[in-house]
Chains A and B, each alone.
Chain A
């Protein structure tokens, strides 16, 4: 399977990345190389193999539904690039 600059643009859009033309070209070459390499997994017969998403027997972890103190607003906003009235500020979503 080989990918084109168009595919790279599509994936970059999904990944919320704005790539320069040079980056697009470079990633097209590099991703093709890597995908060619990972295609070797196609040699493996995995018809009756269960996928492993986790090596531990992971189960849902619950805690008691108790009321707890939340973070103070100024702590939560300590790293905010922009804030207003105790909230994270972003550009308008609607015109």
Chain B
């Protein structure tokens, strides 16, 4: 059995028993990267020196019998829009190709406190804008199940790396589905927590009212461990929720008797690949066998979610990305005529087409004369979408459906058609707009590629989401499948 197929608890037992060292784990990670990353292209930057030094320190600690953190010794990859002190953070953009952060994101600090080992930084769609990883300005990451296919986006590097067995777990970020959709396409587990549960301090902002950091793992138990390590209030993030952090790991009881599940007809009626639908219905049957009950519900404003999202996310992006002006960090154009010219040329040279398109859309939606028709209208539509969820959660504990309407598509297939690409996120976007938590877990295969089941919960009820996902996983083998690389 490959090292990274072991459960976290087994890895920790072997470390404690002296059968394994952290240095061996880290070696295994770099070995697997050397073996596979030429084909997968998940990493942008590797930190061999830092990782080996950290591993040696942890091994010493192990010998000295010190206390071990929750993620002790586990090799981790970090999406490249989460800043890491002294380790290049590019956001997948030429604009930041030389950016050397002067601090760690809170989530990274917490990972370090939990004693995981950072292996390097993972590829992504530029500034997290995209659903396929083809918008990385360096190179596209490939799906480990079939390297002709996309891994999903924008945390495609994170998902592909975990699926390829290069790292034990990875951090990603999700704005409209960017953790869940690539997790589904790559056959792994991806959790987007409730908005505000994990600090966004040090996450390079795309759409601040939607962005969330979350774990990508091989199984639900690992997701609970990573969440436990990184959740919690942060005074450095003014939108961080000040709530008590429950015992996520303890919530994995395996018992889901009596849980009431709603299945939105809007997620399974139209535009869904019949084989994806079949896998989701099979999964519902399994949940029913385990004692849950389900009924069809309606989230009637789903058809407006994609339009709402693209207006709001682009508007926020146009504002957030104004900071990339070539003055304080990032690249600067050669020989500008004047200051305005410096801004314009630095941005035009450094930013890619999808980023420019969204800045343009957002600037337009916020501009004088159009604000009411676009931005304000979208804010009101968001209220209606959120109310759909509030209403649904009055009668059910969870909402379940597909993570994406199809399996992964071929690289290049949708590049020229941004609107079609946007519609891939139809099942994940409403959840982001409502700010509630959701997990994607593997639930089968279609067309030779993995299918994801999305389990959505009430705000701050990650425990029920994890419990149901874990129970499902314990009674199926989908999460044990590995791509042949």
Chain A residues at the B interface, C-beta cutoff of 8 Å: 1, 3, 7-8, 11-12, 14-19, 23, 26-27, 30-31, 33-35, 37-38, 40-44, 46, 49-56, 58, 60-61, 63, 71, 75-76, 78-82, 88, 90-93
Binds A, one of B155-163, B169-177, B341-349: B341-349
**Contact with B357, one of A30, A38, A60, A90 (Cβ below 8 angstroms):** A30
For residue B99, CB closer than 8 A to chain A, the reply is yes
Is B326 interfacial (CB-CB < 8 Å)? yes
Q: Are B311 and A55 in contact (CB under 8 A)?
A: no
Output the least CB separation between B388 and chain A (Å). 12
Other A-B contacts than A17-B344, A46-B380, A54-B239, 12 sampled, CB-CB below 8 A, are A11-B364, A14-B367, A17-B348, A19-B356, A41-B377, A44-B377, A51-B380, A55-B209, A58-B238, A63-B235, A82-B332, A93-B338
In whole angstroms, what is the CA distance A60 to B361 when docked?
29
With a cutoff of 8 Å between Cβ atoms, the chain B residues found around residue A75 in the complex are 102
* Given A18-B345, A51-B380, A55-B209: A71 touches B102 (CB 8 Å cut-off): yes
Residue of A27, A46, A60, A71 near B384 (CB, 8 A) is A46
Tell me the B residues contacting A by CB distance below 8 Å: 98-100, 102, 195-196, 209, 235, 238-239, 241, 301, 303-304, 306-308, 310-311, 318, 322, 325-332, 336-345, 347-348, 351, 353, 356-357, 359-361, 363-364, 367, 373-374, 376-384, 386, 418-419, 433-435, 459
Contact check, B386 vs A15: say whether CB atoms are below 8 A apart.
no
Contacts of B348 in A (CB 8 A): 17-19
What's the count of A-B pairs with C-beta under 8 Å? 160
Report if A3-B364 is in contact (Cβ < 8 Å); known contacts: A31-B357, A56-B435, A79-B330: yes
Shortest CB-to-CB span from A69 to chain B, Å, is: 14
Chosen A-B contacts, 15 in total, with CB atoms closer than 8 Å, are: A17-B347, A17-B348, A30-B418, A33-B419, A37-B419, A41-B378, A44-B304, A46-B383, A50-B383, A54-B239, A55-B433, A55-B435, A56-B195, A79-B99, A90-B339
Nearest to B377 among chain A residues (CB) is: A41
Q: Beyond A50-B383, A51-B379, is A27–B239 a contact (Cβ under 8 Å)? A: no
Least distance between B117 CB and chain A CB atoms (Å): 25
Would you call A90 and B327 a contact (CB within 8 A)? Answer: yes
**What chain B residues lie within 8 Å of A27 (beta carbons)?**
356-357, 360
| A56 partner residues in chain B, CB cutoff 8 A | 195-196, 239, 241, 435
